[in-house]
Amino acid sequence: MSLTLYFHPLASFCWKALIALYENDTPFTPKLVDLGNPAERAALLKLWPIGKFPVLQDDARGEIVPESTIVIEYLDRHYPGHQRLIPGDADRALQTRLRERFYDLYVHLPMQKIMLDRLRPDGKQDPHGVEDARTQLRTSYVVIEQQMTGRPWAMGDDFSLADCAAAPSLFYGSMALPFGDHEKNLAAYFERLKARPSFARVLKEAEPYFNMVPKER
């Protein structure tokens, strides 16, 4: 087994890569990294000096692949399965990447701002930044509600890279800022994502760690 994924089971960007791996039953060795452990952190930094996960190590090809989007692109190119996550058509592939970027930049990042602020000590919170993040999430939810009219997945009938990005973004996003009652297409899409076997497996494996998720104060 040549592939090893360095990850943490609560890390949202790691979920994105895990969904892609599970979607195609791609064989790999999971390597859980505790950044609080100096030896494990040092080992990760040796692979990727930025020190963030996921990082994919491919012994067969002698490659170290960081960043969730690039990991999925790499898998789709070098270890393709029955579910191609990036369309072969260049224009549709571009639209898929655009949709994936939307979820990472305009759902995932503001969600992280809100969730990580909950970990800050008293007096060190950033209420202005959090409110800006909430505003961005509200806008993004409106866009997704419109996009998901009459389609099962982000790009239509086929599960793709965009859905791998949407799943963790919306899971934690719904904790940071719950969906509104009028966002029925968004809510229905989220339920489909949770029921997808690849994401359901990710959630099941993360369950023992959910007590570590920061709660709203």
pLDDT digits (tens, 9 = 90+) for 127-161: 899 999 999 999 999 999 999 999 999 999 999 99
DSSP the chain: --EEEEE-TT-HHHHHHHHHHHHTT---EEEE--TTSHHHHHHHHHH-TT--S-EEEETTTTEEEESHHHHHHHHHHHS--SS-SS-SSHHHHHHHHHHHHHHIIIIIHHHHHHHHHTTSPTT---HHHHHHHHHHHHHHHHHHHHHTTT-SBTTBSS--HHHHHHHHHHHHHHHHSPPPTT-HHHHHHHHHHHHSHHHHHHHHHHGGGGGGSPPP-
pLDDT tier at 114 (50, 70, 90 boundaries)? very high
Q: How far apart are CA 11 and CA 17, in angstroms?
A: 10
Higher pLDDT pick, 84 / 125? 84
| Domains, the chain, with CATH or none | 3-78 (3.40.30.10), 90-196 (1.20.1050.10)
Residue pLDDT, tens place only, 162-194: 999 999 999 999 999 999 999 999 999 999 999
pTM, two decimals, is 0.94
Split at pLDDT 50, 70, 90, the class of 1 is: low
pLDDT band at 217 (very low <50, low <70, confident <90, very high): low
Res 76: pLDDT: 96
